[in-house]
Amino acid sequence: MFMKSEKYAKKREKEKAKLDSREKTLLRIKIRKNRKTPRFKRQELWAQAMLKDTWRRPKGRHSKMRKQERGRGRIPKPGYGSPAALRGLDRQGFLPVRVFNLKDLEKLDPEKEKAVIASTVGRKKRLEILKKAEEKGIAVANA
C-alpha cells in the first residue's frame, strides 16, 4: 500500500512539472502575442478632435470599419485574446490581488499571487504591509 502512494506521488510531481513548463511556454506565447496585437482605435478618431482614444464598437449601418474593409482599422476579435489558462495573469505569471490590510496579505499564496496595495492605503499601513510581504516572500507590484 505504501509503495503505491509513493508511486502516485512521483507521478503527480511529474504532471505538475509538465504543467509548469506548459505555463511557461504559454506565458512566452502571450507576451509575443501582446507585442503583435494592434492598438484598437475608435472609428473616425482622426477626424473629430472631441473623441477620446478609447475603443467603441462601430455600429453604423454603412460603417466600413464594422464591415472590416481593408485599411479601415482593426477591431477586437477572439483571436487576439491570451490563452485561457493565463487570463488575468501578469507578465511574470502571477495573479495580482488587491491588498487593503495585513489580514489580506496572509491569505495570499506567494507562488501564484502577487500583492497590489490599494491606493486608499496610507503610508503607515503601506510600510507595515511591505515589511510583512518581505518576511513572507510575497511579491508586491506597486512597492
Domain ranges of the chain: 1-37, 38-80, 94-143
pLDDT of residue 1: 45
The yes-or-no verdict on residue 17 having pLDDT over 70 is: no
Asked if 116 and 98 count as a contact pair (C-beta separation under 8 A), the reply is yes
- φ, ψ for residue 113 (rounded to 5)? -120, 150
Question: Each residue of 28-62: pLDDT tens digit?
Answer: 888 888 888 899 999 999 899 999 999 999 999 99
Q: Give the closest residue to 62 by CA, choosing from 36, 43, 38.
A: 43
Cα–Cα distance for residue pair 77/25, rounded to 1 Å = 23
